[in-house]
Structure 1
């Protein structure tokens, strides 16, 4: 079998196995929290440009938090469900091919193992042993990069996205409503920029990239978002809208 049902070829398994998957989840959580920080900060700072009413700020912040977290959860659920459906369809095709043409599948597995640097004899022996142990797992891992027992759960992905976004969004929301009116904007801006520096550093660390550029990009992007929304809010407030 050369292609998945989804149309993409997967000649290599996912590197790192469970560790790679855990790092991907952690990176997604950091990025989800980062989204929550930036989007909610943009909303509350924009509204703060138009009014200093704690009730209005709380309402706007909560609305942004709930809308953003639900949007993230639904989007992740749909995305992961589609991926899972494609993986299950690919596994179903693999099961059928193993049942209908086991010799051809054994030869294909041998060729793929040989293509990774094994001699023909060793590749053949490895293919025979892997097939005897668990043919579907062997072919799914080598051909598709899929572990049949570790398919991603759409509900788990949706819940993780919801929690990550909500965690990030709580920071600017609390920073804008808890301090006294004169200090709200300053506390929010400083808190958000520090949090963005932290998430930028942590995402770079998880990706084994240089931290300084990631931190600068993250902080600059957040600062720009808050500056733009505050300017718009101030203009609308001055116009009495």
Structure 2
């Protein structure tokens, strides 16, 4: 008999329909944009803090954008590939068990519905009807929350992650390049903090948490990152190291 694995232990939520999947993708997109905003801003502000001109800022910002997008894409591809491999392994295992021990699997399915509060007779009837319709789908959805037609794609995840990072990172990159020198750094700070208010609010709304707490946490973390990189850049610039 197959055991019900703890999907949460692997760091991935079980699939619970199209809406949940779309919300997960939306949350990942917001977080990817947030990473792009903070990491690219930290790089360009740090370089600007050292007293560098437009050319070094352009070079560093471009490297941060491209390198960060590829890093996000590769990381997401590896992570989602591992999840997909696990899902395929679970599907193959369930298919094998249905082929070799159909009666035991039917009893297990009925027991799962009975454990949810359905009467034994009704649970048995539901299990039989679902098994006759699509046994594999019935077991995957009831036991481990996997939709066999909705297995995640690592390529889609990698592309979405890279695009989200680029969308977030392009803001501080363009601001610090387009704003005149005296106001470069303060305007970039303000633009980044405003963007972090937006992403923090959206992230909190999606997650159902407190908007004020989520936004404050996001803005505070970004402000600390910018202040730290600016201070390091300024220190390096005044010390003559760069």
Band the TM-score falls in, shorter-chain normalisation: over 0.9
Aligned residues between the structures: 238
1: CA distance between counterparts of 2:128 and 2:29? Answer: 40
Structure 1 residues 53-92: aligned runs within 5 Å: 53-92=53-92
Whether the aligned pair in 2 keeps the contact of 1:46 and 1:233 (CA below 8 Å) is yes
User: Partner of 1:38: helix, strand, or coil?
Assistant: helix
Q: TM-score, normalised by structure 2?
A: 0.95
- The aligned residue for residue 133 of structure 1 is 133
Closer, same or farther: CA 180–52 of 1 in aligned 2, 3 Å:
farther
User: Partner of 1:72: helix, strand, or coil?
Assistant: helix
Structure 1 residues 66-215: aligned runs within 5 Å: 66-215=66-215
Whether the aligned pair in 2 keeps the contact of 1:13 and 1:142 (CA below 8 Å) is no
**Which structure 2 residue ranges, 5 or more long, are not aligned?**
none
2: CA distance between counterparts of 1:191 and 1:49? Answer: 17
CA deviation after TM superposition for structure 1 residue 61, in Å: 0.7
Whether the aligned pair in 2 keeps the contact of 1:6 and 1:86 (CA below 8 Å) is no
2: CA distance between counterparts of 1:60 and 1:103? Answer: 63
1: CA distance between counterparts of 2:194 and 2:3? Answer: 48
2: CA distance between counterparts of 1:229 and 1:8? Answer: 35
2: CA distance between counterparts of 1:70 and 1:143? Answer: 36
2: CA distance between counterparts of 1:156 and 1:206? Answer: 21
CA deviation after TM superposition for structure 1 residue 6, in Å: 8.7
- The aligned residue for residue 227 of structure 1 is 227
2: CA distance between counterparts of 1:43 and 1:116? Answer: 52
- The aligned residue for residue 29 of structure 1 is 29
CA deviation after TM superposition for structure 1 residue 179, in Å: 1.1
1: CA distance between counterparts of 2:9 and 2:37? Answer: 35
CA deviation after TM superposition for structure 1 residue 7, in Å: 11
User: Partner of 2:220: helix, strand, or coil?
Assistant: helix
1: CA distance between counterparts of 2:205 and 2:9? Answer: 30
CA deviation after TM superposition for structure 1 residue 240, in Å: 1.4
Deviations 1:110-147 (A, max 9, x none): 00010011000110000001101100000000111100
CA deviation after TM superposition for structure 1 residue 52, in Å: 3.8
Q: TM-score, normalised by structure 1?
A: 0.95
1: CA distance between counterparts of 2:28 and 2:209? Answer: 16
